Structure 1
Amino acid sequence: MTTQAITRRSTIKDVAERAKVSLKTVSRVINNEPSVTQGTRARVTQAITELDYEPDPSARNLRNGLSFVIGLVYDNPNPYHIIAVQKGVLAACRETGYGLQIQPVDSTSPLLADELVDFVQRSRLAGLVLTAPMSERKDLIDTLAARGIALVRIIAATEDPNDGLPCVYVDDRNAAYEITEHLIQLGHQRIGFLWGGPQHRSSGERYTGYEQALKDYGITVDEQLAVPGDYTFDDGFRGARCLLALQEPPTAIFGSNDEIAAGVLAAAKSAGIDVPYELSIAGFEDSPFSRQSWPPLTTAKQATESIAKQAARLLIGGLRQHAHADKPTPLRNQGFVPQLVVRGSTAPLRLRPPAIPDNL
């Protein structure tokens, strides 16, 4: 019988011995306390890396009565977006020694506030990172704040709301304006717009940017060209079929995210429409859909992972201030602006030449 060796998980004591410091010093480095010299911090950090040591958040909670675990709450049909958010928050947790609990929820639940409070208490969480649409519900935010729950919101906004609650905000409106302007400058006058879920502020912000660009260029806003839906491939396909069936169909379609735009591309191909020369298509977010489609999609590059990482950092930074300062200083909110990425799905319009009769 072969005996298989069991790899023992490294402990904080192993780190202290490797770095030749006390357990207290290792703890101070892990908690990013300022009272450690640069040389000592470097030795401890190197030992942590060499031993692949990961602090146990639950043990730290029991030891000092503080929680070193945060929660991420989401309700979004786009799996690529959620994966990027999770990766960003997890990266911030790893660099600060915090644990992470992930909780999908039904954002329409009338008991959502109670459910989130129960989640925080049951999992002994220090705070929450809230994504849209929960992060944009003022009633929910006010209730959670009143119950003493630390939180950070990821929201769609053109500027810092300055409402006293921490957030990371994304300027969807100006990014959508830039996409629409790109299509207009290619010569498109009839530009369709496919909405994401109306419960997401980002969808309305993107429509506002689209509408403003049309008005600024003197193009009449045609309500027939804006189709409601959700942030899904299927709604992109259905919405495109509706637009392409119009008596005067659009020559370009702007989908509120890349998943919608990929559905538009599939609808165009099923109808034998040449993309981009008969129909230009643009998305939003720069997800794998935009890069894996053919032609690849013009989009707005939204640094979802970086946005989520900054939100987690903001939450953890605030928690540390409250734990170590009598009068914590509010941390500065940060904004992100998605950047236009032009790819092969958009081009100047080239209409098919009229068919030549056989008798000529």
Structure 2
Amino acid sequence: MRRPTIKDVAERAQVSLKTVSRVINNETSVMQGTRARVLHAISELGYEPDVTARNLRSGTPFVIGLVYDNPNAYHIIGVQNGVLAACRETGFGLQIHPCDATSPLLAEELIEFVKRSRLAGLVLTAPMSENEELVQALAARDVSLVRIIAATEDPDDGHPCVYVDDRDAAYEITEHLIQLGHTRIGFLWGGLAHKSSTERFAGYEQALQDYGITLDKHLVIPGDYTFDDGFRGARRLLALREPPTAIFGSNDEIAAGVLAAATSAGMNVPYDLSIAGFEDSPFSRQSWPPLTTAKQATEDIARQAARLLIAGIRQDAYDEHPIAMHNQGFAPQLVVRGSTAPMRRDRAQERQAERLPERTPDRDDGGG
């Protein structure tokens, strides 16, 4: 089947080619009834505007870029889906650009990316979005951008952003574990370059402090946002003379690694070890038991960032359904599942509570 054209849309809607073009470009001069008829025809035919050709004709870019460097595939897929949703609302195209956040030439690389691809602007994800020097360099070259960052409040620094309160959500997770009776709670970091990891540790630390629990540095393990680092970190924690009774992984992928390590050690989760993650990715729902986590609306966050960028580029993009042209915050919410439970008392405590004498091993037990 051939691809439907703008002429097909015009014939189906019984309007001129110019009217269809005006609807596609979100021009305000089209009457509501006519606009609705054209949009219905576009939907019925499955017509998709040729963004490249439109750019060349108008001289105005209708494509934005998404820049990322993150080892968490599920997170990136969520971000991509959110940005794509915003692009489809307005007929924008999307160029995806993975990069190395540590590259000393990153600013030049992104400026060239914008120029070569004729982009209208960029959605920056962490850690690039939290690199002040990079943001300043892009702004100095008149690159329109919106950042997705971790912050407890609107930074109000002149650069548009969508911010996520990771700290408060991490506090809530740690508080949940404490209220279950856990006082030895391990913490596995995500990447140090990501402010989200710093914010999540800050929430964990503050909750311990508020409940009068001394932070034990042996229970805090560095790492990255990966399953392997979760597995390795958990093995280190479980090998301690006094291992934790609960472990908080900085994301669900880390927490899934912890679960694998606990299972390989013959532990019964959550009764021998409680585990919590962060983000509510498929890892948290597909694990067994499913993981307690903080639900982060990744697609909604990314969609809002892209909408903010597009609205700043084209003021008429959302004339029919205006969006708030200001920074917006998101707060992940605690989701309690089967991977956390009240701390189980050890056998010595159980014997003391039941006032039973210590049993001397006999030969059947392998004793002498």
TM-score tier, shorter chain, comes to over 0.9
Matched, 1:94 2:88: yes
| Aligned residue among 99, 109, 116 for 2:103 | 109
Report the CA distance shift for 1:142/1:320 in structure 2 as closer, same or farther (over 3 A).
same
Residue in structure 2 matched with residue 130 of structure 1 by the alignment: 124
User: Where does structure 1 differ by over 6 angstroms across 4 or more consecutive aligned residues?
Assistant: none
Correspondence for 2:208 = 214
- Name stretches of at least 5 consecutive residues in structure 1 with no aligned partner: 1-6
What whole-Å deviation, never above 9, does each CA across 1:114-137 have from its counterpart, x for those lacking one? 000111111111111110000000
| Equivalent residue for 2:154, pick from 134, 151, 160 | 160
Which letter maps to 1:159? Answer: E
TM-superposition CA deviations, 1:274-330 (whole Å, max 9, x none): 110111000000111101111000000111111111111111110002999xxxx99
Task: Give the CA deviation at 1:108.
Answer: 0.3
Q: How far apart are the structure 2 equivalents of 1:322 and 1:200? A: 35
Q: What is aligned with 1:332?
A: 326
TM-score (norm. length: structure 2): 0.92
Contact 2:26–2:316, Cα closer than 8 Å, also in 1: no
Contact 1:233/1:262 (<8 A) preserved? yes
Q: 1:47 to 1:229 in 2, by over 3 A?
A: same
Q: Does 1:266 align with 2:260?
A: yes
- Distance (whole Å) between structure 2 residues aligned to residue 234 and residue 40 of structure 1: 56
Is the contact between residue 166 and residue 331 of structure 1 (CA under 8 Å) also seen in structure 2?
Answer: no
Cα contact 1:237–1:266 (8 A) shared by 2: yes
**Cα shift at 1:52:** 0.2
Distance 1:330 1:186 in 2: 41
Q: List aligned pairs for 1:69-88, cutoff 5 A.
A: 69-88=63-82
Where do residues 173-184 of structure 1 align in structure 2 (5 Å cutoff)? 173-184=167-178
Mapped partners of 1:300, 1:281: distance in 2: 12
Say whether residues 1:345 and 2:339 are aligned partners.
yes
Per-residue deviation, 1:352: 4.6
For 1:210 and 1:141, locate their aligned partners in 2 and report how far apart those are by CA, in whole Å: 29
Q: How far is 1:15 from its partner?
A: 1.1
User: AA paired with 1:300?
Assistant: A
Contact 2:75–2:298 (CA under 8 A) maintained in structure 1: yes
Within the candidate set 246, 249, 256, 1:252 is matched to 246
Aligned counterparts of 1:135 and 1:330: Cα–Cα separation in 2: 21
**Matched AA of 1:74:** Y
The answer for unaligned runs of 5 or more in structure 2 is 349-357
In structure 2, the partner of 1:358 is: 361
Contact map agreement 2:69 2:99 (CA 8 A) in 1: yes
Deviates more, 1:155-164 or 1:36-45: 36-45
Q: Decide whether the 8 Å contact of 2:90 with 2:317 is kept in 1.
A: no
Q: How does 1:135-154 map to 2 (within 5 A)?
A: 135-154=129-148
1:223 aligns with 2:223: no
State the TM-score, normalized to the length of structure 1: 0.94
Q: CA deviation at 1:356?
A: 4.3
Question: How far apart are the structure 1 equivalents of 2:205 and 2:252?
Answer: 19
Distance 1:110 1:83 in 2: 26
1:196 aligns with 2:217: no
Q: Which moved more, 1:204-213 or 1:265-274?
A: 265-274
Name the structure 2 match of 1:19: 13
Query: How far apart are the structure 1 equivalents of 2:156 and 2:23?
Result: 33
Letter aligned with residue 336 of structure 1:
F
Alignment partner for residue 310 of structure 2, among 316, 322, 327?
316
Q: Decide which structure has the larger Cα Rg and report it.
A: 2
Counterpart of 2:47 in structure 1: which amino acid? Y
1:271 deviates by 1.1
CA displacement, residues 193-217 of structure 1 (integer Å, 9 cap, x when unaligned): 0000000000000000011111111
Aligned-pair CA distance for 1:34: 2.9
Q: Percent identity?
A: 78
Check conservation: 2:311, 2:317, Cα contact below 8 A.
no
Superposed displacement of residue 38, structure 1:
2.1
Find the counterpart in structure 1 of residue 354 from structure 2. none
Contact preservation (8 Å) 1:75, 1:104: yes
Q: When the two structures are aligned, how many residues end up with a matched partner?
A: 351
**Aligned-partner SS, 1:159:** coil
* 1:131–1:155 contact (8 Å) kept in structure 2: yes
Residue 275 of structure 1 aligns with an amino acid whose one-letter code is V
Corresponding residue to 1:118 among 102, 112, 122:
112
Q: Which residue of 1 aligns with 2:48?
A: 54
Residue identity in the other structure for 2:299: E
1:152-190 Cα distance to aligned partner (Å, 9 max, x none): 100001111111111111110001011001101111111
8 A Cα contact 1:318 1:330, kept in partner: no
Supply the AA of the counterpart residue of 1:342.
V
Q: Is the 8 A contact 1:152 1:165 kept in 2?
A: yes
> Does the CA-based 8 Å contact 1:70-1:101 persist in structure 2?
yes
Contact 2:121 2:145 in 1 (8 A): yes
2: CA distance, partners of 1:254 / 1:338: 15
